[in-house]
């Protein structure tokens, strides 16, 4: 009896202070991230992490959230779904993160989603536009910043069909053989159906293996297809996409190449070199060239101040924006007592808000995606340039003549 | 010892006993506690050992359990860190410690045990070595299993093949596209190109390579999953070797055609190394691969180690079982030892308890002996005290006074028989009850003393050396009767000053009280007699003096004023003389009564004696209004007529007032001053009051001296008779002569009658003086008659006072002595004398009339006599007052009065003579109004005998 009581007391003595400390005093707000820091997609993860950390450094230098500093813990998953599981569990159970922010990738998100739903951890601004994270009604613990792939693809296809006057079967897809690629393709087919596609098989769809550069077969398939392919929408990583474009050009296959934001404009540009000219990339963040947009100006200033060695890039900007959005929610709360549920509630209570992207953002219980806006850029000789959808007809004409 | 009171002796002894008892108890307790401590100490040691042993056994069992647990972890949960070595070391240490506590613990087959321990240690070392090795292998194995390097390489090879194939397809596709858009001529050529492309052997080979690569993926997985050596050998030699050989062959062929295949061959070499080790060989005899490393070796090592582990675990389990058996033996041994120790301990306890019992008995014996001795002594002392108490009780019971003791709550604790008897209760009724209920007290005024007012409760608040004495209180007995109680209540105060009740000693003093009361009454009466006038009951002179002194003292300290008013009744002497002392006394009583009523509480009235009263008035401010008011009231109240024994008496009073401190500060002088003022009032016309003034005193002294001289004047022949002629104005004939007396004082010279007649009247000297005048006048008349001078009647003034003497005798004697005809004698009386309606006077006057002596009314007109009244009087002549005569000429009113008096007198048959005629006019007025007789300076002033004789001639 007494032993039992002693044991109980002892246990209480050990654990009560811990739980009390967790409840009463919060020395810092810990955020988690699992992303690709190695492998073919590593540039995405590294840049995303840099953007988030830049945002956090700036926030901490201004006193954090009501005086409590923020810290990011980041683990590498190499863009491999098999490694995500452990990372997320460690972040939740061991690091007790308040939220997970800026994870890169759709296949990794597929693994992450059930875990964060079960553990009720906010999953903020993942770097993916997959429909999986944009259910209706939305998953409570998923808060998106960016427009969906579907919205990106809609924008592309609307432009191609409306401004470029293409038939649906003139548009082909080059996708990665996984959730990401499939999501893009499904969204694209949906959009094409709106523009009069009668049968899905009329659309040329070629795929490549994730984390390989084996795109020759895909290109061969596309070349062998009967369709008069005038535009290729690519949903893949920057390296295979670049190789695909290079090979296509090599074989005098010169449709318009479209990439979604996930590809990372700068990396694609880098990989393609001179062959980059004319590749269009949709963006979900304001264009870096738009210096009048407040958030771009702030990002540049922060970059200059904290990491002058880094160059401005779209992925980094998205990470920076993700932090700004999270801070918007956290500032509504008392850092001493805030918990994960409160963070979600705070997000849902934001309604219409502005973090300086030049467009109003909106979040509530039924809308967990803050931004719906898609920008478009063109890779040119001078780098990533702003683009206007109206110019697409001209580009199509030029490509045909070539 | 004998000097000390028995009470203290007892206390001393009781304390001694208590001390001894306490010491004994302490001794016993100390001894007991020492015994218990000794037992406890030994028990503790024993218990400690038992606990230690039990703990040791428990620790041993736990250690074994831990060892087993760690062993399981070691063999089956290689990932986790385990502390198998530490745990086994701990077990062995525990075992050694336990064994070191007693040599008898060593089992009988000690050598076997030592051997067991040694072999166990060896096994443990082996197991640990195995575990290290196994862990290393397993970590590599697991890494490989998760993502086998061979598989990665195979995939890379396949991607390589993909790319190679894709490039070929791409070329073909480009041709197809060109073919599609080419003209018909070019088409055939293009078609041939496409066909030749498709017909290339490497195209097929590439596809074959791809399939081979895919085929090799499965054996790799199988290799990783294999759980015995045979399986591994089978996969290695029968599946993998052939697959790899074919792949090598195809790649070799492809390499010849395409330089791009060099990579692929390199990858294949890497795959072989990854699978079988860098320097693996092929046993050409059996066509088996001799493995030197790689994945195969890893899997083999794993299986070997697993088998080793199983064997080791078996061995260890046997050792555990044997060790546990030994544990059981140890437990039994320890149990045995406990029992032995327990028996020893019981014996020890029994011995200690016996020792404690013996010592306890000794101490108790000593205590009993000592107690017996002390109780004997106490008994003796108690007997002594009882005797003393008996004596005290006897004294208390025999005492005549009631004695009651009570406690701090006021409850009776002791009652002596006298107290019970005096209060009328049974002794037992009183005891233990609230005493105040049995002692209902009343004070003098009849107020009953209840509650906190009751003396008993007052006593409860008293301090040391204070007492409460009764003061004229009455107590009620049980039967309701009362008695005067005298008591003393003494509180019982202890040395700390706490009140513990008290003792009430009381006596019935009703008898004494009655005697005292009677004595007091007598004293009061005597006092009253001494201080009061018996006749009027007013305070007498003595009390007056005392009171005056007191009031003056008071006024002195209060700065107040005191007025002393001397009241003297006017002409009281006459009333006394004429109506007798009885009447006088009654009048005095009436006067005293009226004065007292009139005065009320405004002052202090006293009778000084005779007709003298005095009033003391006090006031804080100006006293004049007050005394004026009081004096006026006095005069008014006395002015009303007094009816005494059918007599109607009129009386007035003269009041003299003297004030303190204005007039004097001395009491005697104050009284003398008032006296003087009173005299002054009397002289200034009576029936008035006068305040003393300084000059008054001088005159009074003068008057006093005059009075003194007056007493001797008669003896010294200082009086002389003067004669004033009365004439008939019609012809101037002498009709009579008025005899006037003059005092020829050797110092003062001739003193006017106004100055000394009233003095003589007051002092009574008027009687001898009057007698002398009558006698002298009659003698003179006789002389004149013998000398042959005209025989006219002589008129002599008679004072009212003279009626108190035997005036009739005096007159008739004189007439007889000098042979004077009564008709020649005329007696003049004042009008006011008649108005007193004094029967005695009227009788005397009637007697004179009868004798033939004429009666004239002097100063007529001033008394406003009623004429009808006058008619009844034996009067034959009216003398008109000189006041009327002197003013008749100038004052119509007086003239009218004079005329009417003349007419009235004549009408009543009286002769009328005017006095004080000084002028011819007056004479003529009188004549005109029918009055022919006159007297006055106009005719002649009063003349001495010689001159008058001369005037006659």
- Beta carbons of A216 and B170 less than 8 Å apart: yes
CA–CA separation, B92 and B96 (whole Å): 6
pLDDT grade, residue B428 (50/70/90)?
confident
C-alpha B288, offset from chain centre? 124
Lowest mean pLDDT: which of A120-129, B101-110, B459-468, B762-771? B101-110
- Beta carbons of A216 and B169 less than 8 Å apart: yes
CA of B71, closest CA in chain A: separation in Å? 26
Chain B residues inside the 8 Å CB shell of A223: 170, 173-174, 176-177
The CB density around residue B12, as the number of other CB atoms within 10 Å, is 16
For B156-171, what is the mean pLDDT?
A: 85
Percent of chain B that is helix, strand, coil (3-state, to 5) = 65, 15, 20
- Beta carbons of B162 and A216 less than 8 Å apart: yes
Residues B811-842 have pLDDT tens digits of: 988 888 888 888 889 998 887 777 666 778 88
Looking at the complex, does the CB of residue A213 fall below 8 Å from at least one CB of chain B? yes
CA–CA separation, B356 and B365 (whole Å): 14
Phi, psi torsion values for A377, nearest 5 degrees: -130, 160
- Beta carbons of A214 and B162 less than 8 Å apart: yes
CA of B294, closest CA in chain A: separation in Å? 25
Residues B500-513 have pLDDT tens digits of: 888 888 888 888 88
Is residue A18 scored above 70 in pLDDT? Answer: no
- Report yes or no: B428 and B524 within 8 Å, Cβ to Cβ: no
CA–CA separation, B639 and A296 (whole Å): 139
For B190-213, what is the mean pLDDT?
A: 81
pLDDT grade, residue A234 (50/70/90)?
very high
Domain B711-952, second-level architecture: Alpha-Beta Barrel (3.20)
pLDDT grade, residue A258 (50/70/90)?
very high
What is the per-residue pLDDT for B863? Answer: 61
pLDDT grade, residue A10 (50/70/90)?
very low
- Beta carbons of A220 and B169 less than 8 Å apart: yes
Residues B536-560 have pLDDT tens digits of: 888 888 888 888 889 888 888 888 8
Chain A residues inside the 8 Å CB shell of B260: none
What is the per-residue pLDDT for B867? Answer: 63
Chain B residues inside the 8 Å CB shell of A224: 169, 173, 176-177
Looking at the complex, does the CB of residue B401 fall below 8 Å from at least one CB of chain A? no
Identify the residue among B142, B170, B175, B213 best suited for mutation to test binding to A, counting A beta carbons within 10 A and taking the highest. Answer: B170
- Report yes or no: A266 and A313 within 8 Å, Cβ to Cβ: yes
Is residue B635 scored above 80 in pLDDT? Answer: yes
Chain B residues inside the 8 Å CB shell of A225: none
Q: Tell me the pairing of strands A205-208 and A171-176.
A: parallel
**What rounded mean pLDDT belongs to chain A?**
87
- Beta carbons of B166 and A212 less than 8 Å apart: no
Residues B924-950 have pLDDT tens digits of: 888 888 888 999 888 888 888 888 888
CA–CA separation, B421 and B426 (whole Å): 8
For A235-242, what is the mean pLDDT?
A: 90
What is the per-residue pLDDT for A300? Answer: 92
- Beta carbons of B159 and A220 less than 8 Å apart: no
What six digits make up the tokens of B333? Answer: 């041994």
- Beta carbons of B159 and A217 less than 8 Å apart: no
CATH topology of domain B399-517: Beta-Lactamase (3.30.450)
- Beta carbons of B176 and A224 less than 8 Å apart: yes
Q: Which residue does chain B place closest to A212, by CA atoms?
A: B159
Q: Which residue does chain B place closest to A228, by CA atoms?
A: B177
Residues B11-59 have pLDDT tens digits of: 888 888 888 888 888 888 888 888 888 888 888 887 787 777 777 778 8
Q: Would you list the DSSP string of B389-450?
A: HHHHHHHHHH-SSEEEEE-TTSBEEEE-HHHHHHHTS-HHHHTTSBHHHH--EE-TTS-EE-
CA–CA separation, A130 and B413 (whole Å): 110
CA of B160, closest CA in chain A: separation in Å? 8
Domains of chain A, each with CATH number or no CATH: 28-147+290-371 (3.40.50.2300), 150-283+377-401 (3.40.50.2300)
- Report yes or no: B217 and B225 within 8 Å, Cβ to Cβ: no
CA of A223, closest CA in chain B: separation in Å? 6
Chain A residues inside the 8 Å CB shell of B170: 216, 219-220, 223, 247, 251
Chain A residues inside the 8 Å CB shell of B172: 220
- Beta carbons of A251 and B162 less than 8 Å apart: no
Q: Helices B149-181 & B201-225, crossing angle to 10 degrees?
A: 160
Residues B755-783 have pLDDT tens digits of: 788 778 777 788 888 889 999 999 988 88
What six digits make up the tokens of B660? Answer: 């303190």
Looking at the complex, does the CB of residue A214 fall below 8 Å from at least one CB of chain B? yes
Enclosing H/E stretch for B830: strand B825-830
> Among candidates B474, B466, B415, which has minimal Cα distance to B449?
B474
Facing residue for B169 by CB, picked from A209, A213, A217? A217
State whether the Cα torsion A10-A11-A12-A14 is positive or negative.
positive
pLDDT grade, residue A259 (50/70/90)?
very high
Phi, psi torsion values for A352, nearest 5 degrees: -80, 130
What is the per-residue pLDDT for B862? Answer: 67
CA of A192, closest CA in chain B: separation in Å? 25
Q: How many residues does chain B have?
A: 953
- Beta carbons of B177 and A223 less than 8 Å apart: yes
| Interior/surface letters B426-446, b for 16+ CB within 10 angstroms, e for the rest | ebeebbeeebbebbbbbeeee
What is the per-residue pLDDT for A55? Answer: 94
Enclosing H/E stretch for B40: helix B6-76
Looking at the complex, does the CB of residue B263 fall below 8 Å from at least one CB of chain A? no
Facing residue for A223 by CB, picked from B159, B162, B174? B174
Facing residue for B163 by CB, picked from A216, A223, A252? A216
Q: Which residues between 145 and 164 in chain B have a beta carbon less than 8 angstroms from any beta carbon of chain A? A: 159, 162-163
CA–CA separation, B391 and B397 (whole Å): 10
> Among candidates B641, B677, B549, which has minimal Cα distance to B604?
B549
- Is B532-692 a CATH 3.40.50.620 domain? no
What is the per-residue pLDDT for B836? Answer: 65
- Beta carbons of A217 and B176 less than 8 Å apart: no
- Beta carbons of A218 and B166 less than 8 Å apart: yes
In chain B, where are the structural domains located?
A: 399-517, 532-692, 711-952
- Report yes or no: A88 and A112 within 8 Å, Cβ to Cβ: yes
Enclosing H/E stretch for B283: strand B281-283
Looking at the complex, does the CB of residue A224 fall below 8 Å from at least one CB of chain B? yes
Is residue B866 scored above 80 in pLDDT? Answer: no
The CB density around residue A136, as the number of other CB atoms within 10 Å, is 8
For A35-50, what is the mean pLDDT?
A: 89
pLDDT grade, residue A113 (50/70/90)?
very high
Q: Three-state SS for B939?
A: coil
Residues B637-666 have pLDDT tens digits of: 888 888 888 777 888 888 989 888 888 888
- Beta carbons of B165 and A224 less than 8 Å apart: no
Q: Helices A42-61 & A314-330, crossing angle to 10 degrees?
A: 40
Please indicate whether residue B869 or residue A337 has the higher confidence score (pLDDT): A337
**What rounded mean pLDDT belongs to chain B?**
83
Looking at the complex, does the CB of residue A217 fall below 8 Å from at least one CB of chain B? yes
Q: What percent of chain B has pLDDT over 90?
A: 1
Chain A residues inside the 8 Å CB shell of B169: 216-217, 220-221, 224
CB pairs under 8 A between A and B: 47
CA of B206, closest CA in chain A: separation in Å? 13
């Amino acid at each position: 009896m007494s032993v039992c009581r002693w044991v109980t007391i002892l246990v209480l003595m050990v654990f009560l202070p811990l739980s009390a400390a967790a409840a009463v005093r919060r020395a810092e707000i810990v955020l988690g991230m699992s992303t690709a820091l190695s492998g073919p997609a590593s540039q995405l993860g590294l840049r995303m992490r840099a953007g988030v950390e830049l945002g956090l450094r700036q926030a901490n230098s201004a006193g954090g959230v009501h005086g409590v500093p923020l810290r990011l813990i980041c683990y590498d998953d190499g863009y491999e779904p098999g490694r995500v599981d452990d990372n997320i569990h460690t972040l939740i159970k061991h690091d007790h993160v308040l939220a997970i922010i800026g994870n890169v990738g759709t296949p990794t998100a597929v693994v992450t989603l059930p875990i964060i739903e079960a553990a009720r951890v906010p999953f903020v601004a993942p770097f993916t536009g997959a429909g999986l994270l944009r259910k209706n009604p939305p998953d409570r613990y998923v808060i998106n910043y960016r427009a969906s792939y579907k919205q990106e693809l809609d924008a592309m296809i609307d432009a191609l069909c409306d401004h470029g006057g293409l038939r649906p079967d003139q548009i082909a897809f080059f996708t990665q053989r996984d959730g990401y690629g499939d999501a893009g393709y499904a969204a694209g087919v949906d959009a094409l159906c709106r523009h009069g596609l009668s049968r899905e098989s009329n659309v040329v769809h070629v795929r490549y293996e994730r984390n390989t550069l084996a795109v020759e077969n895909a290109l061969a398939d596309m070349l062998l297809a009967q369709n008069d392919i005038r535009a290729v929408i690519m949903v893949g990583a920057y390296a295979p996409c670049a190789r695909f474009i290079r090979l296509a050009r090599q074989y005098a296959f010169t449709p318009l190449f479209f990439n979604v934001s996930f590809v990372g404009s700068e990396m694609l540009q880098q990989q393609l070199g001179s062959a980059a000219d004319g590749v269009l990339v949709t963006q979900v963040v304001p264009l870096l060239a738009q210096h009048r947009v407040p958030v771009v100006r702030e990002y540049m200033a922060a970059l200059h101040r904290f990491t002058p060695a880094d160059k401005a890039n779209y992925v980094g900007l998205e990470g920076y924006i993700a932090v700004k959005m999270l801070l918007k929610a956290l500032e509504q709360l008392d850092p001493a007592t805030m918990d994960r549920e409160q963070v979600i509630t705070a997000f849902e209570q934001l309604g219409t808000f502005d973090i300086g992207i030049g467009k109003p953002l909106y979040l509530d219980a039924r809308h967990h995606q803050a931004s719906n806006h898609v920008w478009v850029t063109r890779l040119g000789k001078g780098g990533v340039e702003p683009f206007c959808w109206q110019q697409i007809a001209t580009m199509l004409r030029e490509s045909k003549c070539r | 010892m004998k000097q000390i009171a028995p009470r203290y002796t007892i206390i001393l002894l009781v304390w001694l006993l208590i001390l001894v008892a306490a010491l004994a108890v302490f001794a016993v307790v100390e001894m007991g506690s020492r015994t218990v401590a000794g037992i406890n100490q030994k028990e503790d040691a024993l218990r400690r050992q038992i606990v230690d042993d039990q703990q040791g056994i428990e620790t041993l069992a736990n250690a074994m359990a831990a060892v087993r647990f760690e062993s399981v972890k070691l063999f089956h949960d290689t990932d986790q860190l385990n502390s198998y070595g530490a745990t086994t070391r701990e077990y062995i240490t525990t075992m050694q410690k336990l064994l070191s506590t007693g040599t008898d613990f060593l089992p009988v087959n000690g050598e076997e045990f030592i051997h067991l321990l040694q072999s166990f240690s060896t096994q443990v070392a082996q197991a640990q070595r195995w575990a290290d090795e196994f862990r290393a292998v397993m970590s590599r194995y697991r890494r490989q299993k998760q993502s086998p390097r061979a598989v990665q390489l195979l995939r890379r090879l396949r991607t390589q093949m993909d790319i190679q194939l894709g490039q070929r397809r791409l070329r073909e596709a480009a041709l197809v596209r060109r073919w599609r858009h080419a003209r018909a001529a070019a088409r055939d050529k293009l078609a041939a190109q496409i066909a030749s492309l498709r017909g290339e052997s490497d195209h097929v080979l590439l596809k074959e390579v791809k399939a081979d690569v895919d085929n090799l993926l499965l054996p790799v997985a199988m290799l990783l999953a294999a759980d015995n050596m045979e399986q591994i050998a089978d996969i290695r030699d029968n599946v993998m070797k052939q697959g790899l050989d074919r792949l090598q062959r195809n790649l070799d062929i492809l390499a010849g055609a395409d330089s791009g295949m060099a990579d692929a061959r390199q990858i294949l070499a890497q795959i072989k190394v990854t699978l079988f080790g860098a320097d693996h060989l092929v046993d050409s005899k059996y066509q088996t691969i001799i493995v030197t490393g790689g994945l195969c070796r890893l899997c083999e090592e794993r299986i070997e180690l697993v088998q080793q582990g199983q064997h080791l675990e078996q061995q260890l389990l046997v050792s555990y079982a044997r060790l546990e058996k030994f544990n059981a033996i140890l437990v039994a041994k320890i149990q045995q030892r406990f029992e032995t120790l327990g028996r020893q301990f019981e014996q020890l306890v029994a011995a200690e308890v016996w020792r404690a019992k013996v010592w306890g008995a000794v101490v108790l014996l000593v205590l009993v002996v000592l107690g017996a001795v002390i109780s004997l002594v106490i008994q003796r002392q108690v007997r002594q005290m009882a005797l003393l108490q008996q004596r005290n009780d006897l004294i208390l019971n025999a005492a005549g006074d009631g004695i009651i003791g009570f406690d701090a709550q006021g409850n009776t604790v002791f009652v002596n028989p006298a107290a019970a008897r005096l209060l009328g209760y049974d002794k037992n009724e009183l005891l233990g009850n609230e005493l105040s209920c049995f002692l209902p007290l009343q004070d003098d005024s009849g107020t009953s003393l209840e509650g906190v007012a009751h003396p008993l409760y007052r006593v409860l608040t008293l301090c040391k050396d204070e007492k409460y004495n009764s003061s004229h209180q009455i107590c009620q007995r049980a039967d309701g009767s009362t008695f005067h109680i005298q008591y003393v209540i003494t509180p019982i105060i202890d040395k700390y000053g706490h009140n513990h009740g008290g003792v009430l000693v009381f006596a019935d003093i009703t008898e004494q009280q009655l005697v005292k009361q009677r004595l007091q009454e007598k004293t009061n009466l005597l006092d009253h007699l001494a201080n009061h006038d018996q006749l009027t009951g007013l305070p007498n002179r003595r009390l007056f003096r005392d009171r005056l002194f007191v009031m003056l003292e008071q006024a002195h300290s209060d700065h107040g004023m005191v007025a002393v008013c001397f009241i003297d009744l006017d002409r009281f002497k006459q009333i006394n003389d004429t109506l007798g002392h009885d009447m006088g006394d009654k009048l005095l009583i009436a006067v005293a009564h009226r004065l007292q009523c009139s005065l009320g509480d405004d002052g202090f009235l006293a009778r000084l004696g005779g007709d003298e009263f005095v009033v003391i008035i006090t006031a804080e401010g100006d006293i004049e209004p007050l005394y004026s008011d009081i004096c006026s009231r006095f005069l008014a109240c006395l002015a009303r007529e007094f009816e005494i024994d059918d007599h109607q008496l009129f009386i007035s009073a003269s009041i003299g007032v003297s004030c303190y401190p204005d007039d004097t500060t001395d009491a005697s002088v104050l009284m003398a001053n008032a006296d003087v003022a009173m005299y002054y009032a009397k002289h200034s016309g009576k029936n008035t009051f006068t305040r003393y003034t300084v000059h008054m005193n001088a005159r009074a002294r003068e008057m006093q001296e005059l009075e003194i001289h007056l007493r001797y004047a008669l003896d010294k022949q200082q009086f002389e008779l003067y004669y004033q002629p009365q004439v008939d104005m019609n012809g101037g004939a002498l009709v009579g002569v008025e005899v006037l007396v003059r005092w020829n004082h050797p110092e003062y010279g001739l003193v006017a009658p106004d100055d000394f007649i009233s003095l003589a009247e007051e002092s009574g000297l008027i009687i001898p003086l009057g007698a002398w005048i009558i006698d002298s006048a009659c003698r003179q008349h006789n002389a004149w008659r013998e000398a042959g001078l005209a025989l006219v009647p002589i008129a002599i003034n008679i004072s009212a006072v003279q009626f108190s003497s035997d005036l009739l005798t005096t007159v008739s004697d004189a007439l007889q002595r000098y042979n004077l005809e009564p008709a020649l004698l005329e007696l003049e009386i004042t009008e006011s004398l008649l108005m007193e309606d004094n029967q005695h006077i009227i009788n005397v006057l009637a007697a004179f009339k009868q004798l033939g002596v004429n009666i004239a009314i002097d100063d007529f007109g001033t008394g406003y006599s009623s004429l009808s009244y006058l008619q009844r009087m034996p009067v034959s002549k009216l003398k008109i007052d000189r006041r009327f005569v002197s003013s008749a000429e100038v004052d119509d009113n007086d003239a009218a009065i004079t005329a009417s008096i003349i007419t009235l007198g004549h009408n009543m048959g009286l002769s009328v003579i005017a006095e004080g005629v000084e002028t011819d006019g007056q004479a003529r007025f009188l004549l005109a109004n029918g009055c022919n007789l006159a007297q006055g300076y106009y005719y002649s002033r009063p003349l001495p005998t010689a001159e008058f004789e001369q005037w006659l001639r």
